[in-house]
Amino acid sequence: MTTNVAQAWTTFWAEQGPGSRCLARASEELLQPLDTHWHELASGLLPATEVLDLACGAGAVGRELLEGQPDLHVTGIDIALIPPSQDHRIELVPWTPMESLPFGEGSFDAAVSQFGYEYGQTAEAASEVARVLAPGAPISLLLHHSDSPLVEGMRLHKRALEGLCSREVRETFIAGNASVFGEQIARLKRQCPGDPIIDQAAYGLQIHIRQEACRRPDIWKAVDDALRPERIMLDALNLSCVGHDDVSYWTGPLSEAFDLAPPTVVEMRSGEPIAWLIEGTRRPTASH
């Protein structure tokens, strides 16, 4: 994961704070199958199990695991600066790429990830996870499914941001052409109905477009800079999502050190896909 992406996620978590979850806008219908998965997984783990949470964010998965088994200890790592945990059973370690884990061999009894592992470098991440897991340790990874409503919503949001930050809109704003700018915003709202960024940012820009000409470039830059971290994150998301033919991109490297079950799909009650589920156990004779 690049430095720009790490900085973008750092900005995101700074705005969220402890106890938040990256999927805060997701519906209960989408969240419930994910949370149920972690509750069920945790209920099958022994007390005092040491769990490694990859790309943990603010520790949402750890909190769900503790709902299913309160006597676990979860260590979460993330490439970004993340808020500290408020629960002594969860330790969150910032600035830590999954391709270079600061733990000894066999330090953990299980590894998990929700919408994080897919952002890593597959071969390096698989090798490092294998190194720090004890023989026989289970892994359970939820990866973005390219056909999920969550991903589709993020793609629509990405399209809205790209439209708002386009050169055409920027030039109209800096020129101070309020009527054309209003037409461009109206068109974006039709193309991306209900997107909060279009409403919020456009409202402010429509007020400031009547400022003195010398101030408008700085105003635009301030808005563009504020939106850049989210655009970087959405670009990374778009690259990380997979369809049915591409899951081997992750299972291939993992299969060198893990005995894997066939990938399955976690679905909503409606049958729509949410995530790929990759599970397996650390092979005792694995090399890394």
CATH code for the domain in which residue 79 is found: 3.40.50.150
Question: Is 44 found in the same domain as 24?
Answer: yes
In a domain, 126, yes or no: yes
Residue 287 lies in a domain: no
Total structural domains within the chain: 2
- For residue 286, the model assigns a pLDDT of 45
| pLDDT at residue 241 in the model | 78
Question: Do 132 and 259 have their domain in common?
Answer: yes
Predicted pLDDT at 170? 93
Q: Find the helix or strand (DSSP H, E) in which 201 lies.
A: helix 196-208
**Same domain assignment for residues 8 and 78:** yes
Q: Are both 202 and 276 inside the same structural domain?
A: no
- Do the bridges between strand 50-54 and strand 73-77 make them parallel or antiparallel, or are there none, so unpaired? parallel
Cβ atoms of residues 20 and 58 within 8 Å: yes
* Per-residue pLDDT, 239: 80
- SS3 call for 92: strand
Instruction: Answer yes or no: do 113 and 58 share one domain.
Output: yes
Instruction: Report how far residue 266's alpha carbon sits from residue 34's, in angstroms, rounded to the nearest whole number.
Output: 8
129, 158 contact by CB (below 8 A): no
40 and 168 housed in the same domain: no
Task: Indicate whether 12 belongs to any domain.
Answer: yes
pLDDT of residue 107: 97
Which phi and psi angles does 191 have, rounded to 5°? -75, -30
Does 114 share its domain with 229? Answer: no
* pLDDT tens-digit map of 41-93: 999 999 999 999 999 999 999 999 999 999 999 999 999 998 889 899 999 99
Gap between the Cα atoms of 182 and 210, Å rounded: 12
Question: Up-side HSE of residue 233: CA atoms within 13 Å toward CB?
Answer: 22
Q: Tokens in use for 271?
A: 């049958």
Q: Are residues 165 and 102 in the same domain?
A: no
Q: For residue 83, is it within any domain?
A: yes
User: Rounded CA gap, 17 and 248, in Å?
Assistant: 35
Nearest to 80 by CA among 142, 1, 146: 1
pLDDT value, residue 1:
52
- Quickly list DSSP for 107-159: -BSEEEEES-GGGS-HHHHHHHHHHHBPTT-EEEEEEEBTTSHHHHHHHHHHH
Q: Are residues 76 and 125 in the same domain?
A: yes
Classify strands 138-144 and 264-267 as parallel, antiparallel or unpaired: unpaired
- For residues 195 and 123, membership in a common domain is answered with no
pLDDT < 50: residue spans in the chain: 286-288
- Give the pLDDT confidence of 225-235 residue by residue, as tens digits: 888 888 888 88
Range of the domain at 23: 3-146+241-282
| Domain identity same for 29 and 124 | yes
Task: Specify the pLDDT at position 244.
Answer: 59
